[in-house]
Structures are given as structure tokens and as C-alpha cells.
Amino acid sequence: MKILVTGSAGFIGSYVVIHLLNSGHLVIGIDNHNNYYDPILKDDRLDLFRNNPNYTHYFADIADQKVINEIFDKEKLDYVINLAAQAGIRHSINNPYIYIESNIIGFLNILEASRIYQIKHLVYASSSSVYGANTSIPFSTKQSVDHPLNLYAATKKANELMAHTYSSLYQLPTTGVRFFTVYGPWGRPDMAPFLFIKSILDGNPIKIYNFGNHKRDFTYIDDIVEGLIKILYHIPVSNVNWNTKVPDLSTSFAPWKLYNIGNNKPINILQFIEAIESATGKKAIKEFLPLQPGDIQDTWADISDLVNEIGYTPKTSIEDGVNSLVSWYIEHYKYKYT
């Protein structure tokens, strides 16, 4: 199969590309290599597979409609995995317009091209942040997500609604995937795991928001990719039992579906820091601060649909995942410390 992965130089995207190439597929990658975080890291990820003869890379922005249509027309794609987006909850508070350009206009371009070129299945990234003000945990795709706490979350909910429109109007099979706190080697340096590791290794204080009183469903990258690939092969169909009076919010009369991908084992943020301390052999200097605007207090993924329908089971413990991340971090950034 020929599969497009947008955001292919990103954290999750690069892992997905490698998995697909190892499975014998032809992979087309799109990434704009923006400077939201260090582009060198994106180039380093791309170096892992850029010379693979089954991989073709486009330095392009999904918000560029003309270029996206040209790529779809040239490549004759079978499947699309859309992971390109402007990420970052706090960044969206101060820079709202770029989220509309990438996450709304860009996603519209992917939807339109997928419709025109009759893609067999469009899988796209959503986020656990869509649960917003909801405090009923574990978070289920059958719950309402009508109260986002930041613009990033609002754009991700909008993606889910936009995808449903195309599934309904054009019978385009689409699946949205709500990721829960992904971490691991080659991850994003703006995320808490990287910030914690760097500060601990450098001997600097780490900022712990909500005074440490929140939990996150940390999910190791390998488990994320396993679930994502299984979803790609599991093309949604219309739910013939869908009831308009009591609607299942995770399915539809259209070929549209939503899944959570998480570890299903949330831990307190202080426990995660303890795992980093154990892996590095260094104690953290902690600076406790209030909950930041736009943040969700706790996250916990209900993954029962993935378990029951696709056979997904996260396998990586926090200890094993953190050890792998810390070992990679020290090697990649050439840390020498005592």
C-alpha cells in the first residue's frame, strides 16, 4: 500500500513512518519543519529513514491547498495518517492564529484531497485535551467534549466534527485518535518529560504545576504506534444500531469513529518525576506552582473500545519507558554528569 503520513518528521509521525516501512509499505511524508521547537531534532528524526528507497519526503505545509492537491494527484495514495498540526496547549493561548491555519485550514485541505482522490481510510490525530472541563474519569469517547479549556483543544474537537461531515456527506471513512500524554525517545522537547529530564541533569529546578496534585495517563510511544497501526487497518463502517435519540458519541450512522489511545494507568506527576530520578540517579529540585490556565487537572483514558474491537494492549511500564527515554536522552544530547 502507499500511505501518506503528514507530520512525518514529528515525534509520533517518525515512529509511524518507520513501522510502515518495516512492514513493506510505500510511504509518502509531508512536514513543514517549522520552528515551534528545534528543527534540528526533526531533521535528526528524518535521517532515520530519509534514504529508504520506499520513502518520499515533501517539505510542505498542509495549509497550502495547491501543494497538497498536487501531492495527492501525483502519488495516488491508498491511506492517509494526518499527524501534522500546530501542537502545544500553552502556545495556543498566546499564538491563536497559527492553530487555525494549521489545525483547521490544513485539516480541511487533507479532508478535501482525501475526498477527491477517494482515500480508503483517513486516520487523524485528535487529543485528550478535548475532554476539557470534564472531570468524570476515566475519559470515554462516549462522553461530551463541549467544554474545551484552550484553543488547541477546540481545534481538535473541530477536526472530529469536520471529519464527521465528510464521512456523512461523502462516505469517506475517517477515524479520530485521541492521544494521551505520549512520551519516549525522540519526543518533543517542549513536553514535561523532556523538561524534567533536562532540569534534573542540569541541576536546575523543575516547575511542577498544580502543586503536584494532578495525574497524567503517560503512554509510551511504542504502545501509541501499535494502536495507531491497528486502527489504520480497521476501517470504520456505519453503525447500523446508531440511535438518534440516544446517540453513541464515538460512532455514527456514517463511517466515522473515535478512539482513545492511552496507557489506562494514570500516575501522579510526582511519581513520574521519581522514575526519572531513579533512571538518572539524581534528585530533582522541585518548584511547586499553581495550575496553569488551559491545563486539565487529570487525564485517564478509557481504552475499552480499542481493547474489545482491535485487541490493543499497552505493554510498557512507566519504569521501562522512562529508563529508555533517559538512556536515549543522555546519548543523543551527549550528557556527561556525576
What is the distance between the alpha carbons of residues 214 and 330, in angstroms, rounded to a whole number? 27
333 given a catalytic annotation: no
In sequence order, which ranges of the chain are alpha helices (DSSP H)? 11-22, 39-47, 65-75, 89-94, 96-99, 106-116, 151-170, 192-202, 221-233, 269-280, 304-310, 318-332
Q: Which contacts of 87-92 are long-range, i.e. CB under 8 A and separated by 24 or more positions?
A: 87/36, 87/152, 87/188, 87/190, 88/36, 88/152, 88/190, 89/129, 89/150, 89/152, 89/153, 89/294, 89/295, 90/150, 90/292, 90/294, 91/36, 91/152, 91/190, 92/150, 92/151, 92/152, 92/155, 92/294
Single-letter amino acid code for the residue at 288 = F
CA distance 111 to 218: 30
State the Cα–Cα distance between residues 160 and 168, nearest whole angstrom.
12
Q: HSE of 73 in the Cβ direction (CA atoms, 13 Å)?
A: 6
Please, what sign has the CA dihedral across residues 185, 189, 194, 198? positive
| Residue 54 CB-density burial (10 A; 0-12 exposed, 13-18 middle, 19+ buried) | middle
Q: Residue 270: which residues within 8 A CB-CB, separation 6 or more?
A: 208, 212
* List 15, 58, 79, 152, catalytic entry: 152
Phi, psi of 3 (to 5 degrees): -125, 130
Closest CA to 44 of 328, 317, 234, 301: 328
Active site residues: 152
